[in-house]
Structure 1
Amino acid sequence: MGSKNKLKRFKENETFDNVIQPTRQEVAEGFTFKGSWHRHFKNIKPIVLELGCGKGEYTVGLAKQNPDKNFIGIDIKGARFWRGAKTALEEDLENVAFLRTQIELVDLLFGENEVSEIWITFPDPQIKYKRTKHRMTNKVFLDKYHKILKPKGTLHLKTDSEFMHGYTLGLLHGLGHEILYANHDVYKNEGSPKEVLEIQTFYENQYLEKGKPITYIQFRIN
C-alpha cells in the first residue's frame, strides 16, 4: 500500500465514529472506556474482541451473525482495519468498533470481567525463541485475557501456523486450562463451529490457495 493511500485512510479513520485511537499515555493514565464500554455502544450487550484484527473480517462477520453482541477489533495498523470500519458504517452495523492500540495494553483498555469472548485470528506465530514474549497465547498474554474475561469466558485461536497451534495446545495442557475443542484442519475435519468455516480473512484465503491447513482451538482459562 502506498504512503498516500495510508495517509488517506488514517485521515478517514479520524472521521469514523466507530474508530477509537487513544494515545499510549491516555491508556496509561486511565482509558476513558475501561470498565464502561456500554457508554460507547449505548447498550449492555456482551463484548467480543478480535485481537490483531487486520482488515476486520472477523469483527464485521461476527457482528452480522450476532446482532445481540458488541464486537471490537483491535490492531495497531489503522490503515488495515480502515476497510472493516468503513464496511461497518456503510452497512449500519452499530455493534462494531475498532480500537487502534497495542494488544499488550488490553488489560488497561477493559475492566475486570468486561469481555465475554476473545478471538485471535492468524497472529504472527513468532517462531524464534527470543520472540516468545510476543506470542499472543503465551502465559503473560493469557493472564491479561483472564483479567478482562468474564468467568467461563471463551477464547478462540484460528491460525495457519502448525507451530502456533501446537505451542498453544501444549501450553494450555501444561497450565491446566480447559480445551473445549481443537482441530488441526478445519476444512477437512468435521465439527468446527460455523463461524470458523463461514468467515474467512484476506490472509486465510491466501493460505488456502497454497493448500495450507487452517487450525482452530476453543478454550477457557482456569
Structure 2
Amino acid sequence: MRLRHKPYAKEKIQEYPHYVVTQEKTIKGNWLSRFNENNPIHIEIGCGKGRFIIEMAKRYPNINFIGIELQTSVIVTALEKQIEEKLPNLQLLQANANELRDYFEDGEVDRIYLTFSDPWPKNRHEKRRLTYKDFLTIYKAILKPEGELHFKTDNQGLFEYSLVSFSQFGTLLKEVYLDLHQTDQENVMTEFEEKFSKKGNRICKAVLTF
C-alpha cells in the first residue's frame, strides 16, 4: 500500500515531544517517567494510524500504552488523534522494531501487541516478518517473565508461519483462534481488521508467553 506523503508530518511530531519519542534512546528503562501513573506497560508494534492503541488506552486507563510506528507520515495521524484525546496513559514511539532493545530495558514491558503486521510473503523477505525468530528474541528480552505476546492477522500464510515460528522458538501458546470474530472474546479492531473482516476474511489470533 502506497503511503500518502504528509510534508508537515516531521514538523508536527517535533512540536509534541511530550507525546512522541523519536531518537531519545535515554528513555530506556525510564518509560514510567512519561506517564502519570506507575501502571503496567503494553506496547503495539506497528500501530499505524493509532485506532487500536488509542481505543485500548481509552478502555483501560489503568494500563500505560505505547504505540510504535516507523513511518513519519503514518504516526503523525496517530499523534493527531492523541492531540484531540489527550490520553494520559498513551505515548508514541517512532522507531524500528529491530531497535526495540535500544528503547526498552529487559523486562520493562508487560504485553506486546502485533496487529496486522506486513506478511512479507516472499521467502527472501522472511527475516522482515515480525514473528521471525530474531524478533522473538527481542520480544522475549523486553517482556517480563510472565509477559504476553498477542498476535492478530487475517493472512493465513503469515499465521501458519508464525505458529511454526512460535513453536520452534519454544514459546507457550496459551490461546489460538482461527476465527476470532466467531468467539465471544473481547476484541478491539484495527483499521485493517475492520476492512478485511468486511471482505469476509477470517481473523486469526494467538496469545503466547516465552
TM-score with structure 1 setting the length: 0.88
**Deviation (angstroms), 1:176:** 2.6
Specify the alignment match of 2:20 in structure 1.
Answer: 19
Residue 109 in 1 paired to residue 103 in 2?
yes
2:4 & 2:167 partners in 1: Cα distance? 44
Matched positions, count: 207
- Confirm or deny: 8 A CA contact 1:85 1:97 kept in the other structure: no
**Deviation (angstroms), 1:2:** 4.9
Specify the alignment match of 1:165 in structure 2.
Answer: 159
Question: What is the DSSP-based 3-state SS (H/G/I as helix, E as strand, rest coil) of the residue aligned with 1:14?
Answer: helix
Residue 51 in 1 paired to residue 21 in 2?
no
- Confirm or deny: 8 A CA contact 1:70 1:95 kept in the other structure: yes
1:129-153 Cα offsets, whole Å, 9 max, x none, are 1111111011110110111101110
2:43 & 2:108 partners in 1: Cα distance? 11
Residue 69 in 1 paired to residue 63 in 2?
yes
**Deviation (angstroms), 1:42:** 4.2
- Confirm or deny: 8 A CA contact 1:18 1:85 kept in the other structure: yes
Question: What is the DSSP-based 3-state SS (H/G/I as helix, E as strand, rest coil) of the residue aligned with 2:8?
Answer: helix
The partner residue of 2:35 within 41, 61, 67 is 41
**Deviation (angstroms), 1:178:** 0.7
1:176 & 1:202 partners in 2: Cα distance? 31
- Confirm or deny: 8 A CA contact 2:107 2:142 kept in the other structure: yes
- Confirm or deny: 8 A CA contact 1:54 1:81 kept in the other structure: yes
Letter in 1 for 2:89: N
The partner residue of 2:76 within 57, 77, 82 is 82
**Deviation (angstroms), 1:81:** 2.2
**Deviation (angstroms), 1:191:** 4.5
- Confirm or deny: 8 A CA contact 2:50 2:81 kept in the other structure: no
1:58-104 Cα offsets, whole Å, 9 max, x none, are 21111111111111111111221222222223222011111111111
The partner residue of 1:206 within 178, 195, 198 is 195
The partner residue of 2:135 within 125, 132, 141 is 141
- Confirm or deny: 8 A CA contact 1:50 1:59 kept in the other structure: yes
**Deviation (angstroms), 1:175:** 2.9
TM-score with structure 2 setting the length: 0.92
- Confirm or deny: 8 A CA contact 2:45 2:112 kept in the other structure: yes
- Confirm or deny: 8 A CA contact 1:155 1:220 kept in the other structure: yes
Specify the alignment match of 1:131 in structure 2.
Answer: 125
1:139 & 1:149 partners in 2: Cα distance? 15
1:21 & 1:107 partners in 2: Cα distance? 14
Identity %: 31
For structure 1, the residue ranges without an aligned partner over 5 or more in a row are: none
- Confirm or deny: 8 A CA contact 1:120 1:158 kept in the other structure: yes
**Deviation (angstroms), 1:9:** 2.7
1:166-213 Cα offsets, whole Å, 9 max, x none, are 11112222333111111111112x243x1x2xx222222221222111
Letter in 1 for 2:197: L
